[in-house]
Amino acid sequence: MSGVRAVRISIESACEKQVHEVGLDGTETYLPPLSMSQNLARLAQRIDFSQGSGSEEEEAAGTEGDAQEWPGAGSSADQDDEEGVVKFQPSLWPWDSVRNNLRSALTEMCVLYDVLSIVRDKKFMTLDPVSQDALPPKQNPQTLQLISKKKSLAGAAQILLKGAERLTKSVTENQENKLQRDFNSELLRLRQHWKLRKVGDKILGDLSYRSAGSLFPHHGTFEVIKNTDLDLDKKIPEDYCPLDVQIPSDLEGSAYIKVSIQKQAPDIGDLGTVNLFKRPLPKSKPGSPHWQTKLEAAQNVLLCKEIFAQLSREAVQIKSQVPHIVVKNQIISQPFPSLQLSISLCHSSNDKKSQKFATEKQCPEDHLYVLEHNLHLLIREFHKQTLSSIMMPHPASAPFGHKRMRLSGPQAFDKNEINSLQSSEGLLEKIIKQAKHIFLRSRAAATIDSLASRIEDPQIQAHWSNINDVYESSVKVLITSQGYEQICKSIQLQLNIGVEQIRVVHRDGRVITLSYQEQELQDFLLSQFVMDLKVAARLWFSFLVTNVKTFQKVMFYKITNGVIFVGHSKKFSGIKWKVEILFIKWSCLCLHLALVYYDFFQMFPKEVSRNFDLKCLQINYKHKEEITSKRVLFLKIIIRKCLFSTFKLFTL
Distance of closest approach, residue 382 Cβ to other proteins, in angstroms: 23
Q: Which position among 137, 280, 410, 509 is part of the footprint of other proteins (CB under 8 A)?
A: 410
* Site track 386-405 with other proteins (rule: CB under 8 A), x = hit: -----------xxx-----x
Residue 312 to residues 345, 426, 427, 428, Cα–Cα distance (Å): 11, 11, 10, 8
**Within a 13 Å sphere around the CA of 235, how many CA atoms are in the beta-carbon half?**
4
Residue 177 to residues 180, 430, 592, Cα–Cα distance (Å): 5, 53, 93
Q: Binding to other proteins by residue 406, rule CB under 8 A?
A: yes
C-alpha to C-alpha distance for 272 and 269, rounded to whole angstroms = 8
Query: What residues contact residue 172 under an 8 Å CB cut-off, 6+ apart?
Result: none
Q: Binding to other proteins by residue 423, rule CB under 8 A?
A: no
Q: Binding to other proteins by residue 486, rule CB under 8 A?
A: no
Instruction: Give the other-Cβ count within 10 Å of 502's Cβ.
Output: 24
Residues 520-559 that bind other proteins (CB under 8 A): none
Of the pair 232, 412, the CB lying nearest other proteins is at 412
Distance of closest approach, residue 210 Cβ to other proteins, in angstroms: 23
Q: Which position among 135, 412, 554, 608 is part of the footprint of other proteins (CB under 8 A)?
A: 412
Residues 236-265 that bind other proteins (CB under 8 A): none
Judged by CB under 8 A, the stretch of 93-101, 407-415, 563-571, 594-602 that binds other proteins is: 407-415
Of the pair 380, 406, the CB lying nearest other proteins is at 406
Omega prior to 395 cis, within 30 of 0: yes
Q: Which position among 115, 212, 322, 407 is part of the footprint of other proteins (CB under 8 A)?
A: 407
Q: Which position among 229, 409, 469, 561 is part of the footprint of other proteins (CB under 8 A)?
A: 409
* Site track 311-350 with other proteins (rule: CB under 8 A), x = hit: ----------------------------------------
Of the pair 398, 594, the CB lying nearest other proteins is at 398
Do 331 and 343 form a contact (C-beta atoms < 8 A)? yes
Judged by CB under 8 A, the stretch of 213-221, 414-422, 424-432, 461-469 that binds other proteins is: 414-422
C-alpha to C-alpha distance for 8 and 258, rounded to whole angstroms = 122
Of the pair 391, 405, the CB lying nearest other proteins is at 405
Nearest in space to 244 (alpha carbons), one of 292, 196, 179, 208: 292
* Site track 155-194 with other proteins (rule: CB under 8 A), x = hit: ----------------------------------------
Of the pair 413, 621, the CB lying nearest other proteins is at 413
Q: Which position among 414, 456, 508, 613 is part of the footprint of other proteins (CB under 8 A)?
A: 414
Distance of closest approach, residue 419 Cβ to other proteins, in angstroms: 11
Of the pair 79, 408, the CB lying nearest other proteins is at 408
Distance of closest approach, residue 323 Cβ to other proteins, in angstroms: 24
C-alpha to C-alpha distance for 486 and 480, rounded to whole angstroms = 9
Distance of closest approach, residue 420 Cβ to other proteins, in angstroms: 14
Rounded to a whole number of angstroms, the CA Rg of the chain reads 59
C-alpha to C-alpha distance for 567 and 560, rounded to whole angstroms = 11
Strands 492-497 and 221-226 turn out to be unpaired
Q: Which position among 27, 35, 192, 411 is part of the footprint of other proteins (CB under 8 A)?
A: 411
Q: Which position among 292, 386, 408, 522 is part of the footprint of other proteins (CB under 8 A)?
A: 408
| Sequential DSSP letters for 307-358 | HHHHHHHHHHHS--SS--EEETTEEEE-SSTT-EEEEEEEEE-S-HHHHHT-
Distance of closest approach, residue 403 Cβ to other proteins, in angstroms: 11
Query: Across the strands, what pairs with 478?
Result: 461, 492
C-alpha to C-alpha distance for 524 and 505, rounded to whole angstroms = 12
Q: Residue 229: is it exposed, middle or buried by C-beta count within 10 angstroms (0-12/13-18/19+)? A: exposed
Strand order, beta sheet including 325-327: 254-262, 340-348, 330-333, 325-327
Sign of CA dihedral 78, 83, 84, 89: positive
Q: How many residues bind other proteins (CB under 8 A)?
A: 15
Of the pair 179, 407, the CB lying nearest other proteins is at 407
Helices of type H across 52-134: 55-75, 77-88, 96-121
* Site track 346-385 with other proteins (rule: CB under 8 A), x = hit: ----------------------------------------
Of the pair 405, 539, the CB lying nearest other proteins is at 405
Query: What residues contact residue 603 under an 8 Å CB cut-off, 6+ apart?
Result: 526, 529, 530
Do 372 and 256 form a contact (C-beta atoms < 8 A)? yes
Distance of closest approach, residue 396 Cβ to other proteins, in angstroms: 11
Distance of closest approach, residue 418 Cβ to other proteins, in angstroms: 7
Of the pair 399, 509, the CB lying nearest other proteins is at 399
C-alpha to C-alpha distance for 226 and 212, rounded to whole angstroms = 29
Of the pair 354, 419, the CB lying nearest other proteins is at 419
C-alpha to C-alpha distance for 647 and 187, rounded to whole angstroms = 109
SS (H, E, C) 194-254: CEEEEECCEEEEECCCHHHCCCCCCCCEEEEEECCCCCCCCCCCCCCCCEEEECCHHHCCE
Distance of closest approach, residue 415 Cβ to other proteins, in angstroms: 7
Q: Which position among 183, 413, 484, 621 is part of the footprint of other proteins (CB under 8 A)?
A: 413
Distance of closest approach, residue 310 Cβ to other proteins, in angstroms: 25
Distance of closest approach, residue 595 Cβ to other proteins, in angstroms: 59
Q: Which position among 123, 415, 454, 606 is part of the footprint of other proteins (CB under 8 A)?
A: 415
Of the pair 407, 643, the CB lying nearest other proteins is at 407
**Within a 13 Å sphere around the CA of 551, how many CA atoms are in the beta-carbon half?**
15
Q: Binding to other proteins by residue 418, rule CB under 8 A?
A: yes
Distance of closest approach, residue 486 Cβ to other proteins, in angstroms: 60
C-alpha to C-alpha distance for 577 and 260, rounded to whole angstroms = 71
Distance of closest approach, residue 174 Cβ to other proteins, in angstroms: 56
Query: Across the strands, what pairs with 514?
Result: 502
Distance of closest approach, residue 392 Cβ to other proteins, in angstroms: 15
Distance of closest approach, residue 407 Cβ to other proteins, in angstroms: 7
Residues at the contact surface with other proteins, assessed by CB under 8 A: 397-399, 405-415, 418
